[in-house]
Structure 1
Amino acid sequence: MRALSSPQQMTAVVQAAAAAGINHLETAPAYGPAEDFLGTALAQVRNSGGEPDGGWVITSKILPGCSLEDGQRQLHGILGRLGLTRLDNLAVHGINRPEHLDWALDGDGAAILQWAVASGTVGQIGFSSHGDDALIDKAIRSGLFGFCSLHLHLLDPQRLPLARLALDQGMGVMAISPADKGGRLQAPSTTLREDCHPFQPLALAYRFLLAHGISTLTLGAAHPKDLELAQALRAADDPLSRQEAQAIEQLEQQRHGRLGPDQCHQCRACLPCPAGVPIPDLLRLRNLAIGHDLMAFAQERYNLIGRAGHWWEQDNASACNRCEACLPRCPHSLPIPDLLADTHQRLQAAPRRRLWG
């Protein structure tokens, strides 16, 4: 979704992916001209004999909520743009709310997905989600899906139990943007570099996920050089080395040292908030801003709140009315209303446009 300056840029990235040992390409109609460019790139790579051994695995997505007729039309459009007669993987793009899962399980979505597989148009069905843990858990346990794409990050590992649940059920698991949405690790702060020493933050993040059995990492490559680290780690799915484990422990210790008793431990015991404030998610951004000097990333994510529809939270820390319902629930006795006020003061900034949407 990032190599979109021209079809030539996309082709260069796809060629570099094949050379790096990558065989899985994931896209979506929502990503501007991505599918058109990718279709051109696939044809050029095929004609030059540069496809990976065994061919490509291609994933695309449809947004929830469409009718059966529209869903069929969308899928035929995907195939046409990509120059394919069959799609390996079709994902529901963003099961972020309960009604999205209802659509997939019992509504028109169920008819679309059943038709897609029964007709041989699609190999398997999956989903991506930016939703809450309970919703993702329900989707995984539904038995409908063969794979899922989740936010799984070194600096935000709370969904790893959901990934393990999916893996235990034989599902494929893809980590959504462990680089950019994982903390903009492709351009880390000096502090984070020092905290991860002797490893690059992004290399440590990739190894953390691979060692947990995550089957696919999305890389978001805009240029061939963005795939160099992937090529270096192409067979690096063994358990963490002692040195890597020590670096992760060091990372956590440094974060705790800077935050002290005000660190939010992400236990989520403070929820539900009567005012609807997503307390742990907001305090996680505070943790990253103070704990690793990831201020630019934290501000970017904070200022998407209320501006990205169902893809991100709706209420920021200013919605806290100091009712103090959260205080007796917190096992660490955090002054949550004060920390939320501090979060808002630190992170509020001019809004930025989301890459998509």
Structure 2
Amino acid sequence: MRYRRFGRTGLNLSVFSLGTMRCLADATTLQAVLERAIAHGINHIETAAAYGASEAYIGRALRALGYPNLWLTTKILPAGDARHVQQQIEQSRQRLGVDRLDCVALHGLNTPEHLAWLNTAGMATLQQYQQQGIIGALGFSSHGSLPVLLAAIETGLFDFVNLHYTYFQQRNAPAVARAAALDMGVFIISPADKGGQLYRPPRDLQDLCAPLHPLHWNYRWLLSQPGITTLSVGAATADELAFPLAVADQVEPLSPEEQAVADRLASAMEQALGAEYCRQCYECLPCPEDIHIPEVLRLRNLTLAYNMEEFGKYRYGMFGRAGHWFPGQPADRCTDCGECLPRCPSRLEIPRLLRQAHSQLQGQSRPRLWQGI
């Protein structure tokens, strides 16, 4: 395991952090996962008040293990008044069994309304806790748009950011770069699951990434970037940790062999999509029907280029169901109004491509992993 400085927090974190959203079966399972993570060299655990009994299970495991030398991050929702925030912090401290929370993140700073909350007494209460030393570092996680991410980073209120960014979704690259430039810690969330369900990749993607496994390729692509501190790895059982952590000591720049994978993936995308390749410029937005056109077409890109259809169906099935955590309506809401067409620099026939994507990806919708947020 390698370790990196978590920006201005000063914490030296393992390049993989244990995310506990999936460790919800029972306290015994979580303790086994935690013990195995520590054995692999992980020293940072991430949880949230909204992850069911996760905080309580972690607190129980920490007591059983004699409070090993770990850094803890928990998350609270950006909502409520000062009293509500105080209750959230005190409850998290009690459940985790700690006097001090090493890191606290606002959970889902996703919208302009959430940004406005930063000017309330609730946020001021968090800052007071930080000044008193009850909270160490203060950060935020976001599933929101790039403009929201950048606006939150530019407030100067935060020491770290948790965000989505993978080889297969590079939209947030400017946020990663800006956070690193401001000496913020950068924590990449769900690079395996929301990054493409890379733990069960289609054969076409495996062939393109060979001799690397697609999961390892994506981790290496991320870890080769020094501005990124740590990647989330989730495990429902202790045995699930060994395979992803096989690259935990590989943080150097991409080798020629690894760069060749990037070249093959890019070439395959160009060849498969041709003149119908959506290059994710986002100029087509906003859509009058609230269709997230770039994300729909990104899923289409991945399906046609790499046969990532199951992942596409998984994500597409969330449109219209997950609110600000995954905004946008299904593509069959398109009315052929044509407003997007003159804005597209690639001159894509967007309504037709949206219909194609909907026809291919309208598989059975799936609930989010944790429905409590």
The normalised TM-score by structure 1 is 0.95
How far 1:119 moved relative to its partner?
Answer: 2.2
State the one-letter code of the partner of 2:185.
G
Q: Give the superposition deviation at 1:165.
A: 0.5
- State the partner residue of 2:256: 242
- Alignment check: 8 A CA contact 2:313 2:365 kept: no
3-state SS of the aligned residue for 2:187?
A: strand
**What is the alpha-carbon distance in structure 1 between the residues aligned to residue 245 and residue 218 of structure 2?**
15
Q: Is residue 13 from structure 1 mapped to residue 27 from structure 2 by the alignment?
A: no
Distance 2:267 2:200 in 1: 22
Q: State yes or no: 1:324 paired with 2:333.
A: no
- Looking at structure 2, the residues matched to 30 and 126 of structure 1 have their Cα atoms a distance apart, in angstroms, of 17
What does residue 48 of structure 2 align with?
28
2:158 maps to 145
* Post-superposition offset of 1:230: 4.6
**SS in structure 2 at match of 1:218:** strand
Residues in 2 aligned to 1:307 and 1:232: alpha-carbon distance in whole angstroms: 35
Match of 1:342 in 2: 356
User: Which residue pairs with 1:271 in the alignment?
Assistant: 285
CA distance in 1, matches of 2:122, 2:217: 38
Instruction: Give per-residue Cα distances to partners, 1:154-179, cap 9 Å, x unaligned.
Output: 11111112101001100001111000
Indicate whether 1:294 and 2:314 are aligned. no
- Shift, 1:41, TM fit: 1.4
Give yes or no for contact 1:210–1:238 (8 Å, CA) kept in 2.
Answer: yes
Question: Who is 2:267 aligned against?
Answer: 253
Find runs of 4+ consecutive structure 1 residues off by over 6 angstroms.
none
Conservation of the 8 A alpha-carbon contact between 2:215 and 2:244: no
The alignment status of 1:156 with 2:194, answered yes or no, reads no
AA paired with 2:183? G
CA drift at 1:235:
2.5
- The one-letter amino acid of 2:50's match is A
Work out whether residues 149 and 175 of structure 2, in 8 Å CA contact, stay in contact via their aligned partners in 1. Answer: yes
Partner Cα distance (2:251, 2:105) in 1: 25
Aligned to 1:39: 59
Q: 1:314 to 1:273 in 2, by over 3 A?
A: closer
Matched, 1:201 2:221: no
**Secondary structure class of the residue paired with 1:219:** strand
Which of 103, 125, 129 is 1:89 aligned to? 103
Q: 1:216 aligns with which of 230, 234, 239?
A: 230
How far off is 1:138 after superposition?
Answer: 0.5
1:176 aligns with 2:196: no
Alpha-carbon shift at residue 349 of structure 1 (Å)? 2.6
How is 1:299-314 mapped onto 2 (pairs within 5 angstroms)? 299-314=313-328
Q: Which residue number in structure 2 is paired with residue 131 of structure 1?
A: 144
Determine the structure 1 residue equivalent to 2:3: none
Matched residues in 1 for 2:289 and 2:87: separation? 41
Deviation, structure 1 residue 108: 2.7
Residues 54-73 of structure 1: pairs in structure 2 closer than 5 A: 55-73=69-87
Deviations 1:96-149 (A, max 9, x none): 111111112x11332221122022110011000011111110100100000001
- 1:20, 1:230 within 8 Å by CA — same for their partners in 2? no
CA contact (8 A) 1:320 1:337 kept: yes
SS for the counterpart of 1:238 is coil
Do 1:21 and 1:231's aligned partners in 2 also have CA atoms closer than 8 Å? no
Q: Which amino acid aligns with 2:317?
A: N
Contact 1:196 1:247 survives alignment (8 Å): yes
CA drift at 1:296: 1.4
CA contact (8 A) 2:313 2:364 kept: no
| CA displacement at 1:68 relative to structure 2 | 0.8
Select which of 77, 84, 92 maps to 2:91: 77
Q: How far 1:153 sits from its partner (Å)?
A: 1.0
CA distance in 1, matches of 2:245, 2:196: 21
CA RMSD of aligned residues (A): 1.3
Structure 2 partner of 1:109:
122
How do residues 227-238 of structure 1 correspond to structure 2 at under 5 angstroms? Answer: 227-238=241-252
**Structure 2 counterpart of 1:119:** 132
How many residues align? The count is 350
Q: 1:354: how far off?
A: 1.2
**Deviation string, structure 1 residues 293-314 (Cα, Å, up to 9, x no partner):** 1111111111111111210113
Deviates more, 1:313-322 or 1:22-31: 313-322
Contact persistence 1:21–1:234 (CA under 8 A): no
The answer for unaligned runs of 5 or more in structure 1 is none
Instruction: Give the counterpart letter for 2:39 in structure 1.
Output: A
Residue identity matched to 1:158: R
Cα 1:189–1:25 shift into 2, 3 Å: same
